[in-house]
A = this chain, B = another copy of it.
Amino acid sequence: MKILVVNVNTSQSMSDVIDAAAKTAASPGTDIVTLTPFFGPEAVDCNFESYISAVAVMDRVLAYDEPFDAVVMAGFGEHGRDGLQELIEQPVIEICEASAHMAMMIGRSYSVVTTLRRSVPPIEDRLRLSGLADRCASVRANGMTTLEVDQDPAGAMRSIVEEARKAVEHDHAEVICLGCAGMAGLEEAITSELGVPVIDGVAAAVRLAEAVVGLGLKTSKVSTYARPEAKRIDGWPLSEALGLGPRPQGLALRAGGRR
């Protein structure tokens, strides 16, 4: 089984972190191929960037011209999962939703802990739209920017653990979901301090992708995620139009061109 894991930003170091997490989580016999978009933001922290990222992720997956069995979208709550589901038949598992699915199987309620306060609404929206918000006790942020995290990793870890503690003690969360990829490695710290299971989204998504593929299931094409009808799309595929990245042959959706 081969799973494509797509980073949603263009940071190669982040892709490396994601790749390692995915490979650690994968079952024996599962091949992990981690992709980085050809264009887009180096980090995704707001809706503006998330929309660019959504398009870049779809562009990148379509450019991959070998067989694969599933896609893991490694952006916590970012846009684009439903668009990608339209374009391909293979299951697409987004890591925020995967975290919630996994959490709900081992606890009555869960909280997400992330960094920027402005990331909270998109995560809440993602959970609500995917029908997984009901057992979400809270989405909490430690309020640090990426820069501050970089400058004070120990302080960042402490404040993340503190938010997790509030989630457990005040919001009655019984499972903690790590709300961004940079938190990988905090699982043990939180579990040992608070005694609750902790879920990393990439790991959860890889295992759930295996489960879906293992049953031979594919995305339902009967309505919402039916394949788009062919039509003119100016500038698409974007990476090709931008002169970025190698392009596969015979891509069905290459409809447009420069005007």
Contacts and interface: CB of A to CB of B under 8 A. Distances in A.
A231 B40 CA distance: 10
Copies in the complex: 6
A23 interface: no
A168 B222 contact: yes
Nearest to A107: B220
A204 interface: yes
Given A45-B229, A46-B228, A220 B51 contact: no
A236 B39 CA distance: 8
B10 A234 contact: yes
A220 B106 contact: yes
A49 interface: yes
A223 B172 contact: yes
A219 B225 CA distance: 33
Interface string A24-65: 010100000000001111110111111110111010000000
Interface string A184-219: 000000000011110100011001101110110111
Given A58-B48, A220-B197, A233-B42, A131 B128 contact: no
Contacts of A259: 10, 39, 244
Given A86-B48, A121-B224, A259-B244, A41 B104 contact: no
A7 to B, nearest CB: 13
Contact of A83 (B38, B47, B196, B221): B47
Interface residues of A, number: 98
A125 interface: yes
A87 interface: yes
A138 B197 CA distance: 26
Nearest to A42: B232
Given A43-B231, A220-B106, A242-B242, A133 B134 contact: yes
A175 B92 CA distance: 15
A158 interface: no
Interface in A126-160: 128-135, 145
Contacts of A217: 102, 106, 197, 199
4 closest pairs, A vs B, by CB? A39-B235, A131-B134, A131-B135, A107-B220
